[in-house]
Amino acid sequence: MSYYFAYGSNMNPARMADRGLEVVEAMPGRLGDMALRFNKRSRRDPRWACANIAWCPGDAVEGVVYRLADEQQIFRMDPFEGAPFFYSRERFPVALPNGTQVHAWTYVANRAHIDDSIRPLRWYLEHLLAGREYLSPSYFSWLEATACLDEDGGWG
């Protein structure tokens, strides 16, 4: 089995469908001892932030675990994520609701593309919010409260 853990815009099922991966199943997942950050500079405009994860003991990132049809499917994600230049693809143990763990591929921003002073645009955050059915109510509320930029780069 091959798994992919999405914590950013790929939590949006429509976005994933457009990306052409053969997904067998989607389920909630939780990546322990990590925190969600909006600190990866966008390829479209370096003032805009994309999602990233960072080591943070005691915290957790919620997202969607996609069970892929085969081991080769994950390679289809690399161009969308800009791997290996913008993000590196790594495997992490991700907890499932039934108490088991899977080792899932996910993407971590490369240090050269991290900027802690930037924020996401609202339309980008909406992709994450589209994964609501896979998130706990408290995590969804926390995401919903994320400070965003307007399209022109000002605070929204």
Query: What does the pLDDT average to over 77-100?
Result: 97
- pLDDT tier at 150, thresholds 50, 70, 90: confident
User: Is residue 151 predicted with pLDDT exceeding 80?
Assistant: no
Which DSSP state fits 71? Answer: G
In angstroms, the CA 52 to CA 71 distance is 23
- Give the pLDDT score at 1: 84
**Is the separation of the CB atoms in 66 and 3 below 8 Å?**
yes
pLDDT for 95-134, tens place per residue?
999 999 999 999 999 999 999 999 999 999 999 999 999 9
**Is the separation of the CB atoms in 60 and 129 below 8 Å?**
no
Of 11, 30, 19, 4, the residue nearest 124 (C-alpha): 11
Q: How far is CA 109 from the centre of its chain?
A: 11
Length of the chain: 156
In this prediction the pTM is: 0.94
Amino acid (1-letter code) at residue 151: E
- Give the pLDDT score at 100: 98
Query: What does the pLDDT average to over 88-96?
Result: 98
Give 5's Cβ-side CA count (13 Å radius).
32
Domain 2-144 has CATH 3.10.490.10: yes
pLDDT for 2-54, tens place per residue?
999 999 999 999 999 999 999 999 999 999 999 999 999 999 999 999 999 99
- pLDDT tier at 152, thresholds 50, 70, 90: low
Of 108, 89, 101, the residue nearest 1 (C-alpha): 101
**Is the separation of the CB atoms in 17 and 125 below 8 Å?**
no
Query: Omega into 84 within 30° of 0, i.e. cis?
Result: yes
- Give the pLDDT score at 156: 41
User: Token digits for 69?
Assistant: 């049809």
Sequence ranges of the domains in the chain: 2-144
